[in-house]
Amino acid sequence: MSGVQLGVSLPTGGEHATPEAIIQVAEEAERAGLSSVWTYERLFRPTVPIAMGGEGGPVMDPPEAFANVYDPLEVLGHVAARTERIKLGTSVLNALFHNPVVLARRIATLDRLSGGRLLAGVGQGWMSQEFEAAGVSMKRRGDGFEEHVRAMQAVWGPDPVSFEGRFYQIPECEIGPKPVRGGGPALLVGGGAPAAIERAARLGAGMTLVIFDWDALTGTIEAYRQAARAAGHPAGPIVVQVNGAVTAKPLNERAPLTGSAEQVAGDLDRLDRMAVDHVFWAMPGVPAECVQSIAPLLTR
């Protein structure tokens, strides 16, 4: 068995998103021996075509699932109370839509309530309509996002807390609860662009990456680890998200980490050689079938 840990996305968006389905998948994932369950953040579904992934992306109607997405931290708090060991991940929270003190306290609270099981993936956001609704300029991406994360790291650090930045200020104060792990929970930055890679390395964070092809994933991971060394930080966890399914039958044409369990098992060996820490599947279809599809990979 390879060292990469396996997880599954919870059914928090779209027609299958219900409280019952969320708990069913989380409990079945833990019983089956999966290592993690994952959520994401989406504020709403615009009624006009959007550039998927942000400026420069293909313009298309937004997925119908965007219209009904449960809040990720509330979901994971509920799941934490119904599970004991499985890790709880966000991929990702759109940090800029939240005040850093408020978001840092919510993350720390969930980390405490779950016994330190949180994998906190954060990103900048990309949909212009969401920035408009949140009252945040898209120009805050980049330096503003990095400052936001540093403000949260200050909140997670020892008291007294204070922070003075261009966008965010925290007067000297005491803030609790603190996360279980000193310095904060396992932190992941979403994205694969060169600027995001450098930013994650400077912040001492790991990365959560969507896989599209092997060459791109390999290049991103190598660039991140080089950047972490240059920044003087140990490389953080690497999480790979698969927007696809493990299927009952082999596929003649398939994307990485999709297809039958036998096909995917070979791909997992490849992830293990790359020292990837976690992989999880955001699978379409009926939630009850997702864990059943992935579970055979635990005995590969």
Find the DSSP H helices in 47-90. 72-82
Under DSSP, the state recorded for 204 is T
Residue 277 identity: D
Stated pTM of the model = 0.96
Domain interval for residue 94? 5-299
The mean pLDDT value for 112-135 works out to 97
The CATH number covering residue 212 comes to 3.20.20.30
Give the residue from 118, 88, 125, 91 showing the smallest Cα distance to 104: 118
Q: Where are the beta strands (DSSP E) in the chain?
A: 5-9, 36-39, 50-51, 59-60, 87-94, 118-123, 161-164, 169-173, 186-190, 206-210, 238-242, 246-247, 259-260, 278-281
The residue whose two tokens read 């590969």 is 300
Number of domains in the chain: 1
Q: Calculate the average pLDDT of the chain.
A: 96
Q: How far apart are the C-alpha atoms of 291 and 300, rounded to whole Å?
A: 15
The mean pLDDT value for 179-208 works out to 96
Query: Does residue 57 surpass a pLDDT of 90?
Result: no
Q: Are 38 and 86 in contact (CB under 8 A)?
A: no
What percent of the chain is modeled with pLDDT above 70? 99
- What pLDDT is recorded for position 286? 83
